[in-house]
Amino acid sequence: MIPRLETGRLILREFRQADLDAFASFMADPEVTRYIAPAPMNRADAWRSMASALGHWMLLGYGTWAVERKSDGALMGRVGMINPEGWPSLEIGWTLGKPYWGGGYATEAAAAAMRYAFLTQPVDRLISCIDPDNTPSQAVAQRLGETKGERIALTVGGKDYPADMWSITREEWMRRQASMA
């Protein structure tokens, strides 16, 4: 049910039980989880996060993928479509482990997820909710063609977190695809 996507360097696939050690390690790192809630996560919460990702696919027909590097099979993090109850819109989100920062992996994986979203979902725009202080994720959003919009409050676990809503419309995305062809 969960499609497998491939890019030049990456495989986007379903989460597996064998991913838990690496995923739990990333999600326990305060630097990795600095801008996401709840953060950091203990191992049990990381497991629930993986299970939630799988459940998202079952309930909505889309969700987040585990990101695996082709060259060595390393689990690098997660990327994909997020839209839990009460969310402002269909979001493209990404979280990679610290060893994988700065290599263009987040942009590569998120671009594949964005393409899949626009090709399979009946939405006029996609968003990315980014903490106002998270400049690396803002740079990824810009490379994806998203523009910064309004500041919102995301409620997670009964607590509000500030986020800037970055977005790209289907029309903008199609123009970018045509210009890269």
Domain hosting residue 18, numbered range: 5-180
Rounded distance between C-alpha atoms, residue 66 and residue 170, angstroms:
25
Residue listed under structure tokens 């997820």: 113
Q: Could you give the 3-state DSSP secondary structure of residue 92? A: strand
Total-model pTM: 0.95
Give the number of domains in the chain.
1
- Those residues with Cβ within 8 angstroms of residue 74's Cβ, 6 or more apart along the chain or in another chain: 22, 68, 100
> Residue 137 belongs to a domain with what CATH number?
3.40.630.30
Q: Is the Cβ–Cβ distance between 124 and 146 less than 8 Å? A: no
Q: Could you give the 3-state DSSP secondary structure of residue 36? A: coil
**Sequential pLDDT tens for the chain (181 residues):** 899 999 999 999 999 999 999 999 999 999 999 998 778 999 999 999 999 999 999 999 999 999 999 999 999 999 999 998 889 999 999 999 999 999 999 999 999 999 999 999 999 999 999 999 999 999 999 999 999 999 999 988 888 899 999 999 999 999 999 998 7
